[in-house]
Structure formats: structure tokens, C-alpha cells
């Protein structure tokens, strides 16, 4: 929502110069008047790629301080102030568990802030090691639970943010009394946590690819465990720190680039500790002890605490974010539901994890997006948001849409006054002959089946990679469709565009010969056979017949009736499993076809389900992994389908 314009009343804010606004061209159906920003011509010339740290040192003064928290711990903080300010400027803060480096008063970052556009505004930029990380004192806790009723010296990430800002506004010279906050990925979580019980000087926050609820975000997807992502991350990041440190510890050495072979050779999950981690990673042990969505995970869910959010919020995510697609969508929704008067807008672009700050945004893997969308976002969305609240008087909301969303397939930006937008419900039914139908099936008893063998799981990519690739969400799915343990249903070539917007839900009827099974659903755009190639394609890749994965998700079947209530399947009995997929905004063009693929393994992206019942998959033994015959039912009584919402496809000019 964009109703409320809130300024901190506890501080007397100094006036700031307001930038002159000028119309800018924008792609897609967005009106030019929606995004206006201009850069002050008195600021330094643009930074060139080769002189980053030298440019920063020439234009900024760096200071390193230790800021005391209410419990006595001090947090390392690097402060960059413009050398020759011609006005009072705002403070832009990021808090990170990934190092506020480089350390030392004469060592400078090669860039400041979320973009060059904002760096050249000449703000005060502040980087802080969060509690217990690198040069900051205290104990680090992953996704530290929020304490809504703190007393005395009790702390959480909200209070650490408050205490940091309180120190900054009283000790940093030359600021205008306004503070903004941003962060990507884990720092995005700290940005979101900081806007709860916010300091009155904190007026604008942009959580970007934020973690919201780790059970559903990075490491568990509906109970299925994202194995290489978790193992590779925690084998390094999860090692306890010994005193204050400045460097990362050594990375885990797999001894091979072939993740499929390495993780298959690992065997059951219990072998990770027995052969490699040796119980030296505390959070891995906590993962293993809490496979269900219990109190351990519930208290690490930030979403219920996003109430009475005073700062303006712009949440940013990428449609192809392999790590944190859940977080931005859910943080935006939580604020909309729990604080409808807040200024709260959403941006979703054609990006991988953090791609809006790290890539041109012109392509990812096989997918071409026809333009460098990151620079457009930085200049006409991100800078507009921060400049408005940090430099303007905040008396009116900025001219930003409620939702600025990139439409894949058509490759254009669109604006909406609500997300998800209103539309017409559309159901696609799984039919006979591997056809996708527009009406419910008429068969009395019908199913398709396959044998799932944990010893030969379906790979999640045809690339050779030791971890989760950022490109897997655009991988050509033909390699999977050719497997006998992957079922496919495909519609007829479309005669007019089809645009799906918002959440997708796979409503399945399934059965298994064993007691447990994972269900992977992929929604795919099948290109015509004569589709032309584009310049970004790797050798041997072709767009003719390309099966572009638009959205995919997995559920561990035992959690079909609740993530805190695992339940075995009755062998052979058709059972309903509803799988929410993440949102989309995608158009299938005329001549394209809609495809749905369903499988049970997705390796090593997702750990293997033993399929034989075990109470805790992390404690399964190698002998518990067995073959099983799985069925997907598609008859009148058990009609499996995809539920979606169709919106009009504007005519392109």
C-alpha cells in the first residue's frame, strides 16, 4: 500500500535539497511520468570500472568505529563520509554477516551503496558486521528470533539496528537526520528486521532478496531439503568463529566439480556428519534435528512481526532467484496484510539472486530478456525511492507503482496497483495421451505412472556443477522430458497470447507403492521449433523447441497435511497433494505451448527421499532407500490440475 507517509517525530530533521525531477523513458507499459529522477550535476563524474577503490578514497573519508549495543557488546562499523559535502546528506546503512570489509582505515571498498547512481549522490554510507560475525562482538545466531517484548539489555536484530542508528545520528557529522537501509539476501533479512520497532530516523528500507522464513526460503521447500545449497553454505559459513576475525575460513573441498556424482556418493544425509562435517557445524546439527516445521523454525519466521512498520518499504526480488524467491513475495504480502496503511511497494525483475546489483539483467542462461534491465531499475526505481525519502520532505508518496513487475515471455516491465493483479481463474487439467486439457477429464479410472529409483535420481540440470547453479531456473528441460521417470503433459500450440499472473497451485492426486514420495512440478513454456537463436546462447544450445522452465517447486509428500504433521502414504491409495508454486508474470506467445512436468527426484538440488518410511530423513540409512512406483491420477474422481490466474495481455505498439 502507498497510503501512509511517515517521518520520525522524535528527531528534528534538517531540510535537504530536493532533486529536480525529469521524465525518463521506460520500457514496457509503464508511463514515463511514473519514474522521475535526476542526478545533481555538481557531483563527481561517473565511476569507471577500473578505479573503484581509488575513486572511493578520493571522494570519501573512511572511519572505523565500534558501536555499543544495549547489552554492552560492540559492533564493528565502517563509515564512509563524502570529503567535500556541499549539503547535509542522508545515511544509508547495510548490516551484514558476510564482512564489512575491507578492514583498516586506509582500505576502501571499490563501490558504495546499492548502485553507482546512489553512490554518486554523496550520501554517508555505513557497513556493519552483525553481532558475532567477523569483527563484531557477541554471539551470532542464524535468523535470530525477534523478541516483541524486549526488556532492559535483551536484544534482537531490531534492537541492534535501533542502537546503531541512535549512535550514528548523534556521532556522524553532516547528516540530514534521515537514514535508509538496504541489503541483499541475508543482509536483506537484517534490513527487514530493522524496520520492526524502527528508530524514528529510519525512513526508507529496501529488503532485497530477503530471507523471511528459512524453512520455506533457502533450505526447505515444502519440507524437501535443498542439499548442495545447504551443505556448501554451512560447511564454510557455519563453522564457529574463534575470536574476532577478518577473513573467511577455508572452503570445503569436494575434490571434483561433479556435484551429481559427489552427493550421490555421499549416500544418506547422516553420512555428511559421519564422513565430512564431524558435528563441527552447529546449525547443520540443528537442521538435522528439526526436519519438521516445529517451534525451532516458527520462531525464526520474521513475517508475523512485520506490523506497525513505520519506514517506507520497497521489497525487491528476481523471478529467477534460486535462493530467495519466497522471501520478497512473502515480506511484501505480510506488510500488505498486517499494516495496510504502510508505504509498501514490490519490484520483481528478470534476475537471479541479487542480479539487479551484480549483472546487466539482459539474460540468464538460455533466457534472453532483450535489454539491460538492472541499470534501468537502479536509476528509475531504486534511486527514486531512496532519493524521495532520504532527500525530499516526504510530504507525499513517490510516484512509484504498487508493483513494478517484469513480464517474462514478452520481456517488458509492467505496473500494477495491486499484486497479485485481479484476473480470471484458469485451470489446466492433466489428460490422457500426455495432453494438457482445458476441461476436466472424463475417464472413470486413469493414471500415469513411473518408477522412481533413488539410486538413479533425475538430475536438476544437465550442467556439471558442484552446487546449485543460478541458471537452473532457465535450463532447457528437454533433458528431463526424455527420462522415463519424468511425466509430461503438453497443450496445443496457442493461437493467442496467454498471460499468467500471481500464484500457481498444482492440485494433484497421487499414489505410491511405498510410504513416502517427493513431488516436483514444473510449468514450462515450449517454444516453436523454428524459434530463432539469440546471441547469449552457449554453444550447442538452441531456442527451437526450447522448454523454458517458468516456475518449479517441490513438496515432500509426508507434509501434504501440514509441515508439522508428517504422515505416511497408504500404499497404492490415491491421495490429494496441493503444492503452492511461487508467483509468475509470464506470457506464452502464439505458437508456444504450455507444458507440465512431474517427477519425484531432482538431484542433487533436493536430497533423495528414501521412499521407505523413516521418522527423520536426516537419520535414514543407506539401506532405507528403495525403488517405488508412483502414479499421478487424472480421472473424474481424482483430477490432477494446475490452478492459475489469467490477465489480459496488452497489445504491443
d(CA 288, CA 30): 47
- pLDDT of 174: 94
CATH topology identical between 32-213+300-416 and 424-647: no
> Mean pLDDT lowest for which of 32-36, 44-48, 238-242, 263-267?
32-36
Contact 310, 280 (CB under 8 A): no
Q: What is the pTM of this model?
A: 0.92
The 8-class DSSP code of residue 616 comes to -
- pLDDT of 4: 52
**Over the stretch 460-477, which tens digit does the pLDDT of each residue have?**
999 999 999 999 999 999
User: Under DSSP, is residue 298 helix (H, G, I), strand (E, B) or coil?
Assistant: helix
Cell (9 digits) for 449: 505412472
Q: What average pLDDT is seen over the chain?
A: 91
d(CA 258, CA 349): 31
d(CA 579, CA 635): 19
Confirm or reject CATH 2.60.120.260 for domain 424-647, answering yes or no.
yes
- pLDDT of 52: 87
The 8-class DSSP code of residue 537 comes to P
- pLDDT of 381: 97
Q: How many CB atoms lie within 10 A of CB 319?
A: 27
Domain boundaries, the chain: 32-213+300-416, 424-647
**Over the stretch 513-561, which tens digit does the pLDDT of each residue have?**
999 999 999 999 999 999 999 988 888 899 999 999 999 999 999 999 9
Segment 172-196 shows an average pLDDT of 97
b/e map 249-258, b = 16+ CB within 10 Å: eeebebeeee
Helix (H) or strand (E) holding 70: none
Segment 98-111 shows an average pLDDT of 95
Quickly name the fold that domain 32-213+300-416 has. Rossmann fold (3.40.50)
d(CA 150, CA 205): 22
Q: Which of 261, 592, 296 is nearest to 455 (CA)?
A: 261
For the chain, give the percent of residues with pLDDT over 90.
Answer: 88
Residue 181 has pLDDT above 90, yes or no: yes
Residue 439 has phi, psi (to 5 degrees) of -140, 160
d(CA 581, CA 523): 9
Contact 472, 461 (CB under 8 A): yes
User: Under DSSP, is residue 276 helix (H, G, I), strand (E, B) or coil?
Assistant: helix
- pLDDT of 644: 98
Cell (9 digits) for 446: 486413469
Q: Which residues contact 183 (CB under 8 A, 6 or more apart)?
A: 94, 95, 96, 189, 190, 191, 207, 208, 210
d(CA 438, CA 43): 58
Q: In this structure, what is the dihedral angle of CA atoms 139, 142, 145, 146, given to the nearest 10 degrees?
A: 80
**Over the stretch 562-576, which tens digit does the pLDDT of each residue have?**
999 999 999 999 999
**Over the stretch 17-30, which tens digit does the pLDDT of each residue have?**
323 223 333 334 44
Amino acid at each position: 500500500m502507498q497510503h501512509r507517509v511517515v517521518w520520525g517525530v522524535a528527531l528534528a530533521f534538517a531540510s535537504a535539497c530536493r532533486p529536480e525531477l525529469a521524465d525518463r523513458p521506460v520500457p514496457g507499459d509503464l508511463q514515463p511520468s511514473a519514474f522521475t529522477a535526476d542526478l545533481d550535476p555538481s557531483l563527481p563524474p561517473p565511476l569507471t570500472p577500473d578505479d573503484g577503490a581509488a575513486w572511493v578514497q578520493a571522494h570519501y573519508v573512511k572511519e572505523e568505529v565500534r558501536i555499543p549495543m544495549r547489552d554492552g557488546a560492540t559492533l564493528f562499523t565502517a563509515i564512509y563520509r563524502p570529503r567535500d559535502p556541499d549539503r547535509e546528506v542522508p545515511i544509508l546503512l547495510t548490516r551484514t554477516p558476510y564482512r564489512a570489509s575491507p578492514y583498516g582505515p586506509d582500505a576502501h571498498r571499490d563501490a558504495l551503496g546499492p548502485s553507482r547512481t546512489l553512490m554518486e549522490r554523496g550520501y554517508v554510507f555505513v557497513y556493519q558486521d552483525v553481532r558475532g560475525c567477523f569483527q563484531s562482538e557477541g554471539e551470532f545466531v542464524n535468523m535470530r528470533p525477534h523478541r516483541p517484548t524486549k526488556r532492559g539489555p535483551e536484544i534482537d536484530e531490531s534492537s541492534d539496528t535501533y542502537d546503531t542508528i541512535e549512535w550514528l545520528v548523534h556521532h556522524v557529522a553532516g547528516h540530514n537526520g534521515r537514514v535508509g537501509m538496504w541489503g541483499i539476501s541475508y543482509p536483506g533479512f537484517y534490513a527487514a528486521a530493522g524496520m520492526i520497532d524502527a528508530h524514528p530516523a529510519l525512513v526508507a528500507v529496501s529488503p532485497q532478496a530477503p530471507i523471511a522464513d528459512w524453512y520455506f526460503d533457502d533450505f526447505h521447500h515444502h519440507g524437501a531439503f535443498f542439499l548442495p545449497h545447504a551443505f556448501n553454505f554451512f560447511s564454510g559459513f557455519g563453522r564457529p568463529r574463534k575470536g574476532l576475525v577478518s577473513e573467511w575460513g577455508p572452503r570445503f573441498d569436494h575434490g571434483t566439480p561433479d556435484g551429481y556424482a559427489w552427493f550421490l556418493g555421499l549416500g544418506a544425509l547422516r553420512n555428511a556428519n559421519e564422513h565430512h562435517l564431524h558435528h563441527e557445524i552447529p546449525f547443520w546439527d540443528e537442521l538435522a534435528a528439526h526436519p519438521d516445521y516445529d517451534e525451532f523454525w516458527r520462531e525464526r519466521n520474521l513475517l508475523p512481526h512485520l506490523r506497525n512498520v513505520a519506514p517506507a518499504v520497497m521489497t525487491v526480488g528476481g523471478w529467477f532467484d534460486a535462493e530467495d524467491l519466497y522471501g520478497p513475495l512473502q515480506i511484501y504480502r505480510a506488510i500488505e496484510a498486517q499494516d495496510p496503511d504502510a508505504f509498501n511497494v514490490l519490484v520483481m525483475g528478470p534476475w537471479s539472486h541479487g542480479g539487479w546489483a551484480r549483472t546487466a539483467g539482459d539474460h540468464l542462461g538460455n533466457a534472453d530478456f532483450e535489454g539491460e534491465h538492472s541499470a534501468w531499475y537502479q536509476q528509475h526505481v531504486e534511486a527514486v525511492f531512496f532519493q524521495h525519502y532520504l532527500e525530499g520532505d516526504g510530504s507525499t508518496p513517490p510516484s512509484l507503482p504498487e508493483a513494478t513487475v517484469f513480464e517474462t515471455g514478452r520481456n517488458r516491465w509492467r505496473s500494477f496497483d495491486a499484486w497479485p493483479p485481479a484476473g480470471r481463474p484458469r485451470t489446466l487439467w492433466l489428460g490422457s495421451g500426455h495432453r494438457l486439457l482445458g476441461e476436466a477429464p472424463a475417464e472413470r479410472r486413469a493414471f500415469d505412472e513411473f518408477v522412481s529409483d533413488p539410486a538413479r535420481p533425475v538430475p536438476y540440470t544437465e550442467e556439471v556443477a558442484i552446487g546449485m547453479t543460478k541458471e537452473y531456473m532457465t535450463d532447457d528441460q528437454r533433458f528431463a522430458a526424455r527420462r522415463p521417470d519424468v511425466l509430461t503433459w503438453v497443450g496445443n500450440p496457442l493461437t493467442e497470447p496467454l498471460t499468467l499472473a500471481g500464484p500457481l497451485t498444482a492440485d494433484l492426486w497421487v499414489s505410491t507403492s511405498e510410504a513416502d514420495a517427493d513431488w516436483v512440478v514444473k510449468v514450462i513454456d515450449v517454444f516453436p521449433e523454428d524459434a530463432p537463436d539469440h546471441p547469449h546462447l552457449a554453444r550447442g544450445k538452441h531456442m527451437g523447441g526450447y522448454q523454458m522452465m517458468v516456475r518449479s517447486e517441490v513438496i515432500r509428500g509426508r507434509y501434504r497435511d501440514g509441515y508439522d504433521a508428517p504422515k505416511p502414504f497408504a500404499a497404492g491409495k490415491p491421495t490429494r497433494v496441493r503444492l503452492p508454486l511461487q508467483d509468475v508474470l509470464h506470457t506464452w506467445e502464439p505458437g508456444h505451448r504450455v507444458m507440465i512436468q512431474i517427477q519425484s527426484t531432482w538431484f542433487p538440488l533436493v536430497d533423495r527421499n528414501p521412499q521407505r518410511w523413516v521418522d527423520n530423513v536426516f537419520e535414514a540409512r543407506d539401506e532405507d532407500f528403495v525403488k517405488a512406483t508412483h502414479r499421478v491420477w487424472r480421472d473424474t474422481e481424482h483430477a490432477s490440475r494446475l490452478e492459475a490466474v489469467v490477465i489480459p495481455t496488452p497489445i504491443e505498439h
